[in-house]
Structure 1
Amino acid sequence: MNETVTIPRSVEWNETHITILNQQKLPLETEYLELKEIKDVWEAIFSLKVRGAPAIGITAAYGLALAAQSYQTESIIKFKQLLQKDRDYLASSRPTAVNLFWALDRLLSSVENVSSVNEAKTTLIHEAICIQIEDEEVCRQIGEHALSLFKDGDKILTICNAGSIATAKYGTALAPFYLAKEKGIELKVFASETRPVLQGARLTTWELMKAGVDVTLITDNMAAQTILTKGINAVIVGADRIAANGDTANKIGTFGLALLAKAFNIPFYVAAPLSTIDLKTNTGADIPIEERNADEVTHISGTRIAPEGVKVYNPAFDVTPNELITAIITEKGIIRGNYTEALANLF
């Protein structure tokens, strides 16, 4: 029996500004922010007020369209120069999630052949809205394909937040859980807390509980024990960039889960849209890994938990080699085997 499921959203276009759900304040406070200038958009992406590769792409696209509305020129050449400059500025906010660059470049391409500044401004807004609408449908298709891999009663482990608030709607790795809830299929989710920023604890549990999905929170170092004692059937994760050979960059801790899945002989799935696949990046070794501020590790909620002056290594992502990935789930279906060939064939 189909159920109505509450699915939160994180980004909305409002003509003069962008409204985002401030994911830094969750779960203690539900705060929405209005981004009115391009610097607000850059800061929101950099500071993780908006996060999740598709949501970053959507927000950046709206940010570029918003900035373009303020250009005071009638010259289409000058307009495109300003647009390129703002594209590069927004692209500098985060280096790893390929959707950011994909969305910004799609907006640039959309105005290649326009004949006036007014036409360009309208086209940019339309293209950004299309990116968000398309992502919602893409996420639903990913969810349908992923759900076919699970059966009623399965227990599934995930990390970080590849959910509705990381995308236009439904999410990628979390999409099958929303669709299972809609269809009356019982899936039990175990969410890794995802240190140091705690996206699993703060965000995944928050949105799945709002939807009435059965979710259990664990700390990252409980994963092996959880797989062993709770009978985990599979691991499913999102992705920030998938290289041409299938190597996948995702939130730090993902590689460890893939190794555990192999050790316990359970499937390890990556769920991501085509926009996350980067055929220009040959292997995972070529993916730039963002390193973030030491304070994320030495402090929790502003309180210091480590000695002053301690050295810190804080990579935001790791890369899971393709041989550890059972399947990659996209809107076009489920890919297995020779990822270099299969991923290229998608395009």
Structure 2
Amino acid sequence: MATLQAIKYSRGKLLVLDQLRLPHENHYDEVSTAEEAFDCIRSMRVRGAPAIAIVAALAHAVELHNGDCTATEPEEVIAHIEKRLDYLKESRPTAVDLSNAITLLKLATRAANLEGLAHPEAKEAILNTYIKTAEEILAKDLHNNTSIGSHGAAWLQQQYNASSERPISVLTHCNTGSLATSGHGTALGIIRTLYSEGLLKHAYCTETRPYNQGSRLTSFELVFEGIPSTLITDSMAGALFNLHRERMNIGAVIVGADRVVRNGDTANKIGTYQLAVLARHHGVKFVVAAPTTSIDLETDTGSAIEIEERKREELTQISGAIVNENGTVDTSKTAKVAIADQRIGVWNPAFDVTPHELIDAIVTERGTVVKGADGKFDFSQVLPERLASIAARQL
């Protein structure tokens, strides 16, 4: 099955698909500095927690490969790297993948083997360690996504006794596919796996206002890969469950995550929480697909998650390519259109938090986590080493 690539990388060169131009135009931006990566992430030309972390890590790798660091002393080289990483961390504060990647890169760089090396060789060893670690983040993400797809599809098949004769339908929110990751995707990765195994009847995707990642991106991926699918507005989910749940055998809402905290509370694209409420009311499973890099065991509950607020114009204006009278799209012409009174006050949080009580399963690359008899999620089976590290620090 052909898939899209949001990120194209070879050592010293990073190309990032400009997702603001989709679905009408495939254009890749060359990203060669931390500033360009920051702008790419902040402007949402790239989005999705895994992809954000990958672009930030690789952009600095390209910088270092191309001679950005002029320091010579090992301590100064490390300080330069950490300063650039701290700058990149501010591009999207809610997505924990970015901060986890930055922590990993800092630890790896500090641990570079410099024994017996003079300053020029020591600097080279530090830079090579950073670059290799950043490249490993890219490679590992693809492996993780395919594992999430397998675990999630297997769990849903078990829950509904799904088969090619009795496939299930699912609903997804925002974009969690190849465009949000290094490939395959998280929530959309589960949908891809269900489809490839003959277990998917139909996929529904929400438009995901106000940035329309569902209508612009997820629908584009689904059509691109020939997966049977239908686009709905965010406000149609309740009617879909009420009118078509049994006929279409709608088994699950599957979403991604920008951050999952220790008790299972999950921050994801705005609109996720209301889908969880609707799913619970209609007896539809609510599944979060998240690599372990998105799990934050240092934060106890969702109330402590910082929620990014975005500019008001996302709600009051919309822009896009011009549609000609014959229905064709002219990508050479774009227009910005007012869709609200420009004087109205606006509240525009980018994310909301779904409480763990409304989540049935959290699917990671290491397996599917479900709640125990106490109604709480236990991540000890998928993240034993991280929990042990936290426990050791608390002694």
Letter in 1 for 2:34: I
Residues 1:260 and 2:258 aligned together: no
The answer for the alignment partner of 1:236 in structure 2 is 254
Residues 1:317 and 2:351 aligned together: yes
Deviation per residue, 1:238-263 (Å, 9 max, x gap): 00000100000000000000000011
Decide which of 148, 151, 172 is 1:145's aligned counterpart: 151
Deviation per residue, 1:254-305 (Å, 9 max, x gap): 0000000011011100011000000011100000000000011111112111
- TM-score, normalized by length of structure 2? 0.84
CA contact (8 A) 2:12 2:61 kept: no
The answer for the alignment partner of 1:220 in structure 2 is 234
The answer for the alignment partner of 2:178 in structure 1 is 164
The answer for the alignment partner of 1:74 in structure 2 is 72
Decide which of 368, 371, 384 is 1:334's aligned counterpart: 368
The answer for the alignment partner of 2:337 in structure 1 is 303
Give me the whole-angstrom Cα distance separating, in 2, the residues matched to 1:177 and 1:158. 9
What are the ranges of 5 or more consecutive residues in structure 1 without an aligned counterpart? none
* Paired residues for 1:72-221 under 5 Å: 72-114=70-112, 115=114, 116-148=122-154, 149-150=156-157, 151=162, 152=164, 153-221=167-235
Deviation per residue, 1:12-41 (Å, 9 max, x gap): 223333101111111111111101221100
Give me the whole-angstrom Cα distance separating, in 2, the residues matched to 1:111 and 1:154. 46
Decide which of 275, 290, 296 is 1:272's aligned counterpart: 290
- Give the Å deviation of 1:346: 2.3
Give me the whole-angstrom Cα distance separating, in 1, the residues matched to 2:315 and 2:284. 31
CA contact (8 A) 1:244 1:344 kept: no
Give me the whole-angstrom Cα distance separating, in 2, the residues matched to 1:91 and 1:294. 23
Give me the whole-angstrom Cα distance separating, in 2, the residues matched to 1:323 and 1:186. 27
Percent of pairs with identical residues: 40
* Paired residues for 1:22-41 under 5 Å: 22-41=18-37
Give me the whole-angstrom Cα distance separating, in 2, the residues matched to 1:189 and 1:247. 25
Give me the whole-angstrom Cα distance separating, in 2, the residues matched to 1:268 and 1:343. 18
Give me the whole-angstrom Cα distance separating, in 2, the residues matched to 1:176 and 1:15. 30
Give me the whole-angstrom Cα distance separating, in 2, the residues matched to 1:270 and 1:181. 18
Give me the whole-angstrom Cα distance separating, in 1, the residues matched to 2:129 and 2:229. 42
CA contact (8 A) 1:64 1:104 kept: no
Give me the whole-angstrom Cα distance separating, in 1, the residues matched to 2:139 and 2:11. 16
Aligned residue pairs total 343
- TM-score, normalized by length of structure 1? 0.96
2:307 aligned counterpart, secondary structure? coil
Deviation per residue, 1:139-163 (Å, 9 max, x gap): 1110001111142421101100011
1:233 aligned counterpart, secondary structure? strand
- Give the Å deviation of 1:62: 0.5
Deviation per residue, 1:139-197 (Å, 9 max, x gap): 11100011111424211011000111111111010112222333344331000000000
**The 10-residue stretch of structure 1 (239-248 or 79-88) with the greater mean CA deviation from structure 2:** 79-88
1:259 aligned counterpart, secondary structure? helix
Deviation per residue, 1:214-248 (Å, 9 max, x gap): 11000001110111222222111000000100000
Aligned-residue Cα RMSD (Å) equals 1.3
1:242 aligned counterpart, secondary structure? strand
Bigger radius of gyration: 2
